Structure 1
Amino acid sequence: MDAVADHGGSLGRASALFPQAPLPWIDLSTGINPHSYPLFDLPATAFSRLPEPARERTLAEVAAATYGAPSAANVVSAPGTQILLPRVAAAVKPGRALVLGPTYAEHARACAIAGHTVAEVRDFDALFSADIAIVVNPNNPDGRVARRRDLLELADKMRSKGGLLVVDEAFMEVGPLDERMDGDVGRGGLVVLRSFGKFFGLAGVRLGFAIAAESLAARIHGELGPWAVAGPALEYGIKALGDDAWQQAMRERLAADAARLDALFADSGVEVGGGTSLFRYVKLPDAPALFETLGQQGILIRNFIWDETALRVGLPGSEAEWRRLEQALAAWATRRQERAMEAQP
């Protein structure tokens, strides 16, 4: 199956769309934290030797403690969550996969790769008829949150018929932690996915986790084989996941940045309708014009082929980027007002 091309983060595609845009690009099309975890020196052996199994065990232990998993035996470390998707989908024999959408497109593609028939549904209750149900929580792109009590009921239903609930918590670090499902995987019928790169701003490290009942975790781990996670990724994961002080300070910083972005949109007459503190979600009739205007100014935001009125906007990473965005939004708002006045009889 062909790769899904409908993603943010491609500056090559942006340059093709807007060849005259001023450089450097400001990429606000992803939900990746622009304030990345501080880089640090790594031992030479992280590059020159195969990773030691003991370091992978340490990473699993730190991840279990950070995410609230029952134990390290419930945690599978992988080179990014993406590689886990078809393996998790294959944990259930081919059947009916239902994805609560609109959401991240790769879940549907992974289920199709695993042999499932796939459909997207908008009603949570429709998921109960699935053989494998997928919920992104908080959802990308609108920030919708499914409640833990509802997800537990759904997981119990999946388990009772040999199915599986997959909860993608890629943005749960900035979501309501009381709703996370990591501690419930021992009940069975449930896999939780965790992304490292988004919150820690280190997407290029390629590190992610599947959290599941021990038997399923062992199966996925065996399919990945030895040395699945590179030595440098192990070291960054161990240090960053164990840094509680940095994580708490970053949550506060991101919340302040998200409020600042909301205020900037409000000044331009745009109401933010959702999202998380890593990205904001707006809907407006002239969203294509806003996407075009910002793109021409070298500012890439995320639009969607399934709804031309929807946009997702990430956080600027510096004061210079904030100023460029503010100026571009102000210019767009002025032209918008002028067009509205010209349209009046």
Structure 2
Amino acid sequence: MLEHGGNLRAAKARYGGTDWIDLSTGINPHGYPAPAPSSDAWQRLPEPDPDLVRAACAYYGAPHLLPVAGTQAAIQALPRLRAELAGPARVTVAAPSYAEHAHHWRRLGHAMREVAYDSLDDAIGASDVVVVVNPNNPTGATVAPERLLGWAAQLAARGGWLVVDEAFGDTARALSVAGHVGRPGLVVLRSVGKFFGLAGLRLGFVGAEEPLLAALGDLLGPWTISGPAQEVAIAALRDHGWQRATQTRLARDGARMHALLADHGIDAHGTPLFHWWAAPRAEDFHQHMARRAIWVRLFPGAARGIRVGLPGNESAWLRIEQALREWNDT
């Protein structure tokens, strides 16, 4: 399996210590206060609750959605579904981005290539499937909705797909194309884990034409979303007051992180939930922070860089500031 953030047990095993600050994911550290599930949620088979789809469609502004066990489930299933429906495809994945996309398209035998975001226009004509993460993880790069919809139309004209991963789209709602998922060839992924801070719930949604959603649902099989997860998600998706307050808080904390990094000579960019920068000494910075029990995400190789999420309390902010000051002194 590929390496991801959130692997705090590995960090503790390697570096020791107990009082760790985990900045290795872009998950909201102040997650939704999940209500206790009903007894039925534990005791009954988790048949799909139509209220979950209605709540999600209202929140994302989408005409129809399929609940899935996190966007990861869809990322793994879509290459298989495409192969079953149309055979091997010419696939372009915007790079750098969430590595699971390229990994699974390649693994299923598709002709896969990775293309920089600023070269995507030229790649559309030579592709059957194009995958774009918007806003991008880890760099925060974005693509305008009208550009995405134009690409989707070009691909759909020859039976292709545009897959838009909007897992971090909650804090950039104007970028979303979820409201257009009735169009041919457009597939949109949304996550409940990031903005709502409910990564352990393992819940996301896929938006696409209804026949494609039906085929994906058949492939994934029954009972993919637990009863407790459905109840918690319905409450979170309908809690507009919490959503507004969280948008305000994340905007404030994201701006604070950007300013903190800039004050220590780091030119970072991203979203309110995470910041990323290219770092020639990325491995050294990663170890420097780990020795202070601060776990950041290291991106090695061609996309060498560092990504940091948000801390959950004021003492963590102060520890991060101190660690950055010490890094500048090295």
Q: Where on the TM-score scale, by shorter chain, does this alignment land: which range?
A: over 0.9
Change in CA separation of 1:288 and 1:113 when aligned onto 2, cut-off 3 Å:
closer
Larger Rg: 1
Q: Indicate the residue corresponding to 2:229 in structure 1.
A: 233
Q: Which of the numbers 152, 155, 159 marks the counterpart of 2:152?
A: 155
Deviations 1:228-262, CA, capped at 9 Å, x for gaps:
11001101111101112211211110111111112
Q: Structure 1 length as normaliser, TM-score?
A: 0.90
8 Å CA contact 1:86–1:113 kept in 2: the answer is no
CA RMSD of aligned residues (A): 1.5
8 Å CA contact 1:42–1:235 kept in 2: the answer is yes
8 Å CA contact 2:81–2:219 kept in 1: the answer is no
Give the CA deviation at 1:308. 6.7
Q: Indicate the residue corresponding to 1:340 in structure 2.
A: none
Q: Which of the numbers 120, 132, 137 marks the counterpart of 2:134?
A: 137
Long gaps (5+) in structure 2: none
The 5 Å alignment of 1:36-75 reads 36-53=31-48, 55=49, 57-70=50-63, 74-75=64-65
8 Å CA contact 2:183–2:208 kept in 1: the answer is no
Q: Which of the numbers 280, 284, 293 marks the counterpart of 2:279?
A: 284
Q: Indicate the residue corresponding to 1:102 in structure 2.
A: 96
Long gaps (5+) in structure 1: 336-345
Change in CA separation of 1:230 and 1:99 when aligned onto 2, cut-off 3 Å:
same
Change in CA separation of 1:160 and 1:91 when aligned onto 2, cut-off 3 Å:
farther
Q: Which of the numbers 89, 114, 120 marks the counterpart of 2:79?
A: 89
Query: Are 1:15 and 2:12 an aligned pair?
Result: yes
8 Å CA contact 1:281–1:313 kept in 2: the answer is yes
Query: Are 1:311 and 2:306 an aligned pair?
Result: yes
Q: Which of the numbers 191, 212, 215 marks the counterpart of 2:211?
A: 215
Identical-pair percentage:
45
8 Å CA contact 2:131–2:162 kept in 1: the answer is yes
8 Å CA contact 1:280–1:313 kept in 2: the answer is yes
Q: Distance in 2 between matches of 1:285 and 1:118?
A: 28
Residue identity in the other structure for 2:77:
R
Paired residues in the alignment total: 323
Q: Distance in 1 between matches of 2:76 and 2:7?
A: 23
Give the CA deviation at 1:226. 2.2
8 Å CA contact 2:282–2:300 kept in 1: the answer is no
Q: Indicate the residue corresponding to 1:183 in structure 2.
A: 179
Q: Structure 2 length as normaliser, TM-score?
A: 0.94
